[in-house]
A and B are shown apart, each in its own frame.
Chain A
């Protein structure tokens, strides 16, 4: 006889236990999502107090706006640079931390502390360190003859500075995961390779990277989300999207459209598009990881 296996005899009891979680999800996730979707079909005034239904007009506006196109391009370029940059550097640093014998924990703390800083604090500190006129780091960079480090007016330079800061901020997170993954690789693999005399870079490329590929896949997804969403405070405090929109990431642009230009409807439409973009990217990344990552021994 087939029987249902139930954790609770009484389905009402189950509902009561689920209620708090469901309430939080509905209140803070599903309802705002629905409301965002609804707002994206309206034109709004005065923070949404007056709304007019406009159908898909907001999406048409986005599709035809050169400013939005620029923002899309900047965001994709920024995500690519941040994901590739932070993973590559973190992989290299984590590998060195994994191989070092002495003072490992001191190095580890040094490598991951930027992650422990609140983004706003990090952005403010770096703004001063890198300030074109006042920055200590700027002072030393400009000692190189012919170099002018004025990223307040130079768009590509601002993009570069912001990318470096975003990479630096995310390194600790990546290093923690990569180091844990490296420690899961059996030590005898390294020992047998030492006996054979396999070089350390060959080991990294041929042995460690394939064996930690599930973690790398996970980090690509997390870093993509970071680059698209969590870099907002860095842009807000350091460049405000400028100069000339060179760092006007989608997440920053939609914030400004909503709360500076009071176009809640348009900003909602931008949210929907951003959500769609990141969802598609994540699906693709997860599918690729599933196909190519090596799981288990």
Chain B
């Protein structure tokens, strides 16, 4: 039995379709992240699961039961909001117990026991007597999470819970959320626009765009084998380079003469396509000064336009014909704007996308998950030091 199942769920606000026939299945105990740009329908999807928005079309099941018209309180879900939604006139402890106390048949001693346990789990035992105004952002969010814990729901819903926190605290809370989930194993649906959060927290990640899910997959698979051009460009920082190429036999050729061979990958390039978009991640392109590079396959000359030192790597923006290509290289490499360079694309890590539909039509064989040690190492670039491996 799945914990939550959405079958062609649609949400229309008058003439705007916010969610357009999304289908998703969340397994019991799973941590599923909905990620996407602003306005993609991720929060609306979450609010439909909570019951705060009605479902216009399709079927929504929680715990095997259809809940389309069921009141939020009868769905056994608890939600954590971006703005914490704490009652400003109540102490932290009262905030945690108020909802459960006012609505459910739980004895006072049981409630305070649960609040104490939640507080201990979240490290806020000393703050229980304080009102929200006397708490920092991180402490407030802990209280809000504590309130959800006290309810002991079968599903946690989290709507960008870390977005209001500063960068450092966000990373810390992210790790805490991951370990909390590992301890409780409660089914969780988590909405964020931050791809790092999505990659590090999610057992699986649903990338949403324009009201539908582009791809639902484990984080590494999203990175290695994006199903669409949108996913390819959305997941990964800096974003994947995508530029138009012509398909000639078993290779693709760019205007500048860059030629990348197409191997027999796990997806065969369909014969009837003569134009496509080539996708290569910045770390899968080699950059070298013009003089000591030997011309060959997969190479092209380009001009450096901007360099961005990121500390652990150097991001070089190059002009390749009409395209701007980002290349990630070793941190202390010396490249200057205006310099001519040779770019070498790693043919084993390239992707092709249909120019019309944006769907992936080819992944090079080395992009398969777990196919190379090299890949694991490279993928670290997605979330440096994010502690994502804790939940893998």
CA distance A210 to B133 in the complex (A): 15
A10 CB-CB contact with B under 8 Å: no
Interface residues of A (CB under 8 A from B): 186, 188-189, 191-199, 202, 206-207, 210-211, 294, 296-297
B99 CB-CB contact with A under 8 Å: yes
Which of A189, A199, A211, A294 is B102 in contact with, Cβ under 8 Å?
A: A199
Is the CB–CB distance between B72 and A194 below 8 Å? yes
Stretch at the interface among B7-15, B79-87, B245-253, B365-373: B79-87
Is the CB–CB distance between A296 and B50 below 8 Å? no
A109 to chain B, nearest CB (A): 24
Q: Map CB proximity to A onto B62-84 as digits: 1 under 8 Å, 0 otherwise.
A: 00000000011111011101010
* In the complex with contacts A188-B81, A189-B85, A192-B81, A197-B104 CB distance below 8 A: yes
CA distance A188 to B147 in the complex (A): 14
Q: Across the interface, which residues of A come within 8 angstroms of B147, CB to CB?
A: 192
B1 CB-CB contact with A under 8 Å: no
Nearest opposing residue in chain A for B159, CB measure: A188
Mark out the residues of chain B between 133 and 151 whose CB falls within 8 Å of any chain A CB in the assembled complex.
133, 147, 151
Is the CB–CB distance between A297 and B133 below 8 Å? yes
CA distance A199 to B104 in the complex (A): 11
Q: Can you identify 5 A-B contacts, CB atoms within 8 angstroms? A: A195-B77, A198-B103, A294-B88, A297-B88, A297-B133
Is the CB–CB distance between B79 and A192 below 8 Å? yes
A225 to chain B, nearest CB (A): 27
Q: A188-B83, A188-B85, A195-B51 are in contact. List 10 more A-B contacts (CB 8 A).
A: A189-B87, A192-B85, A195-B77, A195-B78, A196-B103, A197-B102, A198-B99, A210-B89, A211-B89, A296-B88
Nearest opposing residue in chain A for B79, CB measure: A195
Q: How many contacting A-B pairs (Cβ < 8 A)?
A: 71
Is the CB–CB distance between B99 and A196 below 8 Å? yes
* In the complex with contacts A191-B85, A192-B79, A210-B89, A199-B103 CB distance below 8 A: yes
Interface residues of B (CB under 8 A from A): 50-52, 71-75, 77-79, 81, 83, 85, 87-89, 98-100, 102-104, 132-133, 147, 151
B30 to chain A, nearest CB (A): 21
CA distance A235 to B228 in the complex (A): 77
A101 to chain B, nearest CB (A): 11
Is the CB–CB distance between A195 and B99 below 8 Å? yes
* In the complex with contacts A192-B81, A197-B71, A294-B89 CB distance below 8 A: yes
A165 to chain B, nearest CB (A): 35
Q: Across the interface, which residues of A come within 8 angstroms of B103, CB to CB?
A: 196-199
Is the CB–CB distance between B87 and A197 below 8 Å? no
Q: Across the interface, which residues of B come within 8 angstroms of A294, CB to CB?
A: 88-89
